[in-house]
Amino acid sequence: MRVLVTGASGQLAHAIRQVWSDHDLVLPEEAILDLSQQSAIHSVVSSVRPEVVINCGAFTQVDRCESEPELAQEINATAVGWLAEACEAQKAMLIQISTDYVFDGTGTRPYREDDPTNPVSVYGRTKLEGERQAARCSRHLIARTSWLYDAWGKNFLNTMLNAAAQGRVLRVVDDQRGAPTTCRALARQLKVAAEQGWQGLVNTTCAGETTWHGFAQAIFKGRGIAADLHPCTTADYPTPAQRPAYSVLDGAHRRSLGPDLMPEWEAALREVIQRPVL
């Protein structure tokens, strides 16, 4: 398949570059495939003529979205509509990466794809609008994921490791629950989904759940680091954007569609630690 990937400099695009190596990948620099420019999107998609477009590009700085809502809307929502139009013109499939932050976090069981959404942040609201825009493309797959990280890129894993290396005292939130998900696991699942023609809305997170503090503990244990780590509450660590307290996603629908390549989050973390380079 000829596959066009947006957000080429990001951590998920890096994983796709490695995992999808048996496909014809095109990853333009963001200056060329500029998601803020409708003309650039249509020009690149029409010239590449992809069978699949994976939209890894997004404004993911959750707190910054609160102070720059117009930019968040443009990149996370409006641009997805432009991609959907361009894909429709080429009869291409659009794979849109979405987020657990479309939920408000008041649930007590893993969220299913058909559960009501109620985002509590600008980031969550614009990503939900991005889902709606992606659905304008006849062939679309909306992949909701959560807490993305890997051995590369800017993410929680590397933030924790860098902070510990500096000998800092770490206070990490212990009352927000979710599922840490590796970029490589998500890239593998998306590859199978595209090859088998999955469509619609699918939860694509690693299995199980933990808190950010529990995730940090597992990182340091896996690396054999004696970090000065302490739990705290969300109230102890106020941020501009509200986060859902509980955003675990149910994987039953995904497992009904075909091969489930999303491992338990602990197993995924072990792979990253033991094999940092793909």
Catalytic residues: 123
Alpha-carbon gap, residue 177 to 229, rounded angstroms: 18
The three-state DSSP-derived secondary structure of the chain is CEEEEECCCCHHHHHHHHHCCCCEEECCCCCCCCCCCHHHHHHHHHHHCCCEEEECCCCCCHHHHHHCHHHHHHHHHHHHHHHHHHHHHHCCEEEEEEEHHHCCCCCCCCECCCCCCCCCCHHHHHHHHHHHHHCCCCCEEEEEECCEECCCCCCHHHHHHHHHHCCCCEEEECCCEECCEEHHHHHHHHHHHHHHCCCEEEECCCECCEEHHHHHHHHHHHHCCCCCEEEECCCCCCCCCCCCCECCECCHHHHHHCCCCCCEHHHHHHHHHHCCCC
> Which amino acid makes up residue 236?
D
Alpha-carbon gap, residue 59 to 189, rounded angstroms: 23
Of 130, 148, 120, the closest CA to residue 84 belongs to 130
121 within 8 A of 62, measured Cβ to Cβ: yes
